[in-house]
Chain A
Amino acid sequence: MHPTYALMADPMPKKRVLVVDDNPVVRSFVRRLFELEADFQLSGEAENARDGIEKARNLNPDLIILDLSMPDMTGLATAPLLRKLLPETRIILFTVHEDPELERFASAAGIDAVVSKYQAASELVVQARALMASREQPDHSKIRNAS
């Protein structure tokens, strides 16, 4: 097959995103944000941590956008379970909480990046792309964001 046809027949697959946040407005906002991006698709939404773990198991997403404060489990407690379940999936903690120790806790929990809800949400897409690129790299170098 001519290389051009091969490219047309096999376009770069969209990266699948799962958003886990107890607030429906935030989930809707993130969904609309990623719907605008040609290289991502929102594959699922979960309204709490347990639902998030279940959907992660079923959907096998490339990226999980995870809230910190949820009614059943914190994002910090959820992340190690997700990491064990899906070692290759990247996790972004998307949080409104600002705490100097949060970055350290997040890293220890296996979270790849922290994005503050104080920042423009487009930063989520920037971090998502960087993490997807790092996923392709052999060393899986992680991205950290001071927020």
Chain B
Amino acid sequence: MIDPDISSTRDIKYPDWQREFEAALRERDPKVLRQRVDAAEAAIFLRLQSLANGPNEHAEQEAISNALRTLRTFQREKLGYPDWNKK
């Protein structure tokens, strides 16, 4: 299920990373998807570093965790990344 925080391009709550994430969600060209996912991960990583050095933003961190779960699914199911958690 898509998180309501990230389902609408008109209502960007977290501009530091959400636009890149939504671009990955919308990408249909498999050749471009890897770039989009990498860009979203990079934006999220840089935002996490800002958050780590600032006040606790629990709601955004929760949104980031949800976004990362989605990106991980994309990597595994659409980009063929191996699953590190395979039992």
Spell out A's residues near B (CB within 8 Å): 22-26, 29, 68-77, 96-99, 101, 105, 117-121
Q: Which residues of B contact A68 (CB under 8 A)?
A: 84
For chain B, residues 26 to 44, give those with C-beta under 8 angstroms from any C-beta of chain A: 34, 38, 41-42, 44
Name B34's closest neighbour in chain A (CB-CB): A71
Complex: how many Å from CA A121 to CA B52?
9
Q: B-side binding surface: helix, strand, loop or mixed?
A: helix
A101 to chain B: closest residue by CB = B85
Distance, CA A35 to CA B21, complexed state (A): 30
Contact partner of B80 (CB less than 8 A), chosen from A71, A117, A118, is A71
C-alpha gap A113/B38 in the complex (Å): 25
B81 and A117 form a contact (CB under 8 A):
no
Q: Is B65 an interface residue (CB 8 A)?
A: yes
Chain B residues, Cβ within 8 Å of A97: 68, 72, 84
* Chain B contact residue count (CB 8 A cutoff): 24
User: What per-residue 1/0 map shows which CB atoms of B52-73 lie under 8 Å from chain A?
Assistant: 1100000001000100100010
| Cα–Cα distance between A114 and B16 once the two chains are bound (Å) | 26
7 residue pairs A–B, Cβ–Cβ below 8 Å: A23-B38, A29-B46, A71-B81, A75-B84, A77-B82, A97-B84, A120-B49
CB of B23 closer than 8 Å to a CB of A: no
B79 in the interface (beta carbon within 8 A): yes
Q: Which residues of A contact B75 (CB under 8 A)?
A: 69, 71
A5 shortest CB reach to chain B, Å = 42
Residue of A nearest to B86 (CB): A74
B61 interface neighbour in A25, A74, A77, A118, Cβ under 8 Å: A118
A115 to chain B, nearest CB (A): 11
Query: Which residue of chain B lies nearest to A68 when distances are taken between CB atoms in the complex?
Result: B84
Q: For the complex, is B14 an interface residue (Cβ under 8 Å from A)?
A: no
Complex Cα spacing A22 to B82, Å: 13
User: Is A98's CB under 8 angstroms from B65's CB?
Assistant: yes
